[in-house]
Amino acid sequence: MSRVADEKVLVLDFGSQYAQLIARRVRHQQVYCEIVRHDITADRVRELAPKGLILSGGPASVYAEGAPRCDLGLFRLGLPVLGICYGMQLICEALGSRVASTPAREYGRAQCQVTSDDALFLGVPPQTQVWMSHGDQVTAVSDDFVSLARTDTCPFAAVRHRRLPIYGLQFHPEVTHTPQGEQILGNFLKGICGCAGTWRLGDFAEQTIAELRRRIGDDRVICGLSGGVDSSIVAALLARAIGPRLSCILVDNGLLRKGEARAVIREFSDHFKTDLHVVRAEDRFLAALAGQINPQEKRRTIGRMFIECFADEAARIEGARFLAQGTLYPDVIESGGSLDGPAATIKLHHNVGGLPEDLSFELVEPLRDLFKDEVRQLGSQLGLPEEIVWRHPFPGPGLAVRCVGPVTRERLETLREADAIVVEEIKHAGLYRQTSQSFAVLLPVQSVGVMGDARTYDDVVAVRSIDSEDFMTADWSHLPYELLARISTRIINEVSGVNRVVYDISSKPPATIEWE
């Protein structure tokens, strides 16, 4: 449990795709929050001393065999509890109400009528839109519960226990499709749990820097830099904490975006004045990738080469005891790496490119408690430039998995130029921060075209731009036609060997964000 928060709330994870989103929304209200296993014991909760509990949604039906349940002792702790969707059904069923399947799954927006002036709905208009996503719902409540809100199809859209501070919401307050969701969550946290909202990132930065100094003492730390947001912010924190005893390694694998290596060198060598080691390894990576077209094979090769290059360089740095990594809270949750957290659900391919555990360094992971948006805020506070703080995520295997088919120097050059145009134009249109990831993909397809009087048979570039909260699901960005037109014209005119540009209009799922 974090040392940085004097008040916190726990989110019990019942397998909802939204559990992390709930935790982020809570932190937006300046209340520190962690995700824990659904079967955490009441004794352990008492030890952790949260101000309240939130039971997440989940895909199961409360009556199904093996459905995840919680320790009933939780309801006797006197703590405020908010159950969302499955969490509500579980509470109601556990405390004597009836849950049943509705004839049709309800999914989407619904009009909700607030029928009570309970503190949970303070400041919420009597008619408000909510987002529903459920198969079961509570059909009758025991005398212990009262209904606070209803929709046309759901008589118990919100309930509360008559004597205990226990609440249930059938809808999802954590998603943006519930416009009053933030207000409702805020009412629960501040009005019902009595949280003051004292969680501040500025304090986090100062405390983390002090703690890093204490832990590292006079030793040296190595930090791998990738050009991405997370590793840059780890390095910036360490540079503030231990200055010249930080050594950074940038493996320039030849698969980075245009100008990326240069920007990292400028920032960490010139500005932060760290001991920066740049490993120029393009030739080694390209030789190892020669002839490979299978995405997983590419990933494995790149992962292996990265470890080799990194370990070689690290061995040259004398007296290093620690290795810093930009592990974030979602990585900790998904890898099952937190003490009270849910079991692992990691997407294995994203692990490739990490470092093996036997590098004989002690790990320093100062961002373990943070979500991505918090990491970005922290980066701004540490004075990192906008270009680094707001850079879209980039996969470890880099442009290799956007160069569909063989990875060669020439094809990478074509892709890098096209990609730079996509990013430049989206920035120019003021849409870079609004989109979550925008990039070019080079396809292994030639198509016929005409240029002047000549017939061409050139490459096709796909443009991909997506909007996403968490990168687990994503919608393709509805970019303006004029912007798409400019991107297409510029790529075809300026990038030699490309005569056709297409826009990828697939959502995730079922498509993934990357093409490989």
Question: Which residues are catalytically annotated?
Answer: 85, 172, 174
CB of 401 to ligand XMP, least distance (A): 6
* Residue 165 vs 353, nearer CB to ligand XMP: 353
DSSP, collapsed to helix, strand or coil, labels residue 384 as coil
- 51 secondary structure, DSSP code: S
CB of 513 to ligand XMP, least distance (A): 3
* Residue 21 vs 92, nearer CB to ligand XMP: 21
* Residue 58 vs 396, nearer CB to ligand XMP: 396
- Of residues 77, 88, 80, 91, the one with CA closest to residue 41: 77
Question: Which amino acid is residue 435, in one-letter code?
Answer: T
279 neighbors 251 (Cβ within 8 angstroms) = yes
Categorise residue 430: left if φ over 0, alpha if ψ from -120 to 50, beta otherwise. Answer: left
Q: Judged by CB under 6 A, does residue 326 bind ligand XMP?
A: no
CB of 354 to ligand XMP, least distance (A): 8
- Of residues 112, 110, 124, the one with CA closest to residue 188: 124
* Residue 257 vs 299, nearer CB to ligand XMP: 299
CB of 353 to ligand XMP, least distance (A): 5
Site string for ligand XMP, 425-454 (x = CB under 6 A): ------------x-----------------
CB of 63 to ligand XMP, least distance (A): 34
471 neighbors 392 (Cβ within 8 angstroms) = no
49-57, 282-290, 393-401, 497-505 -> range binding ligand XMP (CB under 6 A): 393-401
10-18, 144-152, 198-206, 390-398 -> range binding ligand XMP (CB under 6 A): 390-398
Q: Which of residues 292-311 bind ligand XMP (CB under 6 A)?
A: 299
Q: Judged by CB under 6 A, does residue 513 bind ligand XMP?
A: yes
Q: Judged by CB under 6 A, does residue 486 bind ligand XMP?
A: no
In three state form, how does the secondary structure of 390-451 look? CCCCCCCCHHHHCECCCCCHHHHHHHHHHHHHHHHHHHHCCCCCCCCEEEEEEEEEEEEEEE
Q: Judged by CB under 6 A, does residue 379 bind ligand XMP?
A: no
Burial of 357 (0-12, 13-18, 19+ CB in 10 A): exposed
* Residue 144 vs 504, nearer CB to ligand XMP: 504
Q: Judged by CB under 6 A, does residue 508 bind ligand XMP?
A: yes
CB of 344 to ligand XMP, least distance (A): 17
Please state the φ and ψ torsions of residue 204, each to the nearest 5 degrees.
-60, -45
Considering CB under 6 A, how many residues would be counted as binding ligand XMP?
15
Q: What helix, strand, coil percent values describe the chain, rounded to 5? A: 35, 25, 40
Please state the φ and ψ torsions of residue 330, each to the nearest 5 degrees.
-60, -35
- 257 secondary structure, DSSP code: P
CB of 350 to ligand XMP, least distance (A): 5
Q: Which of 393, 405, 406, 480 binds ligand XMP (CB under 6 A)?
A: 393
40-48, 53-61, 271-279, 508-516 -> range binding ligand XMP (CB under 6 A): 508-516
Q: Judged by CB under 6 A, does residue 397 bind ligand XMP?
A: yes
Question: Which amino acid is residue 472, in one-letter code?
Answer: M
* Residue 87 vs 397, nearer CB to ligand XMP: 397
CB of 327 to ligand XMP, least distance (A): 12
Please tell me the distance from the alpha carbon of residue 372 to that of residue 328, in angstroms, as a whole number. Answer: 7
Please tell me the distance from the alpha carbon of residue 207 to that of residue 221, in angstroms, as a whole number. Answer: 18
Site string for ligand XMP, 57-86 (x = CB under 6 A): ------------------------------
Q: Judged by CB under 6 A, does residue 395 bind ligand XMP?
A: yes
Categorise residue 140: left if φ over 0, alpha if ψ from -120 to 50, beta otherwise. Answer: beta
378 neighbors 205 (Cβ within 8 angstroms) = yes
* Residue 18 vs 394, nearer CB to ligand XMP: 394
Please tell me the distance from the alpha carbon of residue 467 to that of residue 89, in angstroms, as a whole number. Answer: 31
Q: Which of residues 460-479 bind ligand XMP (CB under 6 A)?
A: 471
Tokens 């017939």: give the residue. 455
Please tell me the distance from the alpha carbon of residue 4 to that of residue 206, in angstroms, as a whole number. Answer: 10
CB of 439 to ligand XMP, least distance (A): 8
* Residue 62 vs 251, nearer CB to ligand XMP: 251
* Residue 186 vs 330, nearer CB to ligand XMP: 330
Q: Judged by CB under 6 A, does residue 227 bind ligand XMP?
A: no
Site string for ligand XMP, 331-350 (x = CB under 6 A): ------------------xx
Q: Which of 352, 370, 399, 442 binds ligand XMP (CB under 6 A)?
A: 352
Q: Which of 87, 181, 326, 353 binds ligand XMP (CB under 6 A)?
A: 353
**CA atoms within 13 A of residue 133's CA, in its CB half-sphere:** 17
- 474 secondary structure, DSSP code: B
Q: Mind giving me the DSSP string for 321-345? A: EEEE----HHHHHHTT-STTSPPP-
Please tell me the distance from the alpha carbon of residue 187 to that of residue 421, in angstroms, as a whole number. Answer: 45
Cα torsion 312, 316, 321, 322 to 10°: value is -50
Q: Judged by CB under 6 A, does residue 361 bind ligand XMP?
A: no
CB of 186 to ligand XMP, least distance (A): 30
DSSP, collapsed to helix, strand or coil, labels residue 464 as strand
Question: Which residues lie near ligand XMP (CB under 6 A)?
Answer: 299, 349-350, 352-353, 393, 395-397, 437, 471, 508, 512-514
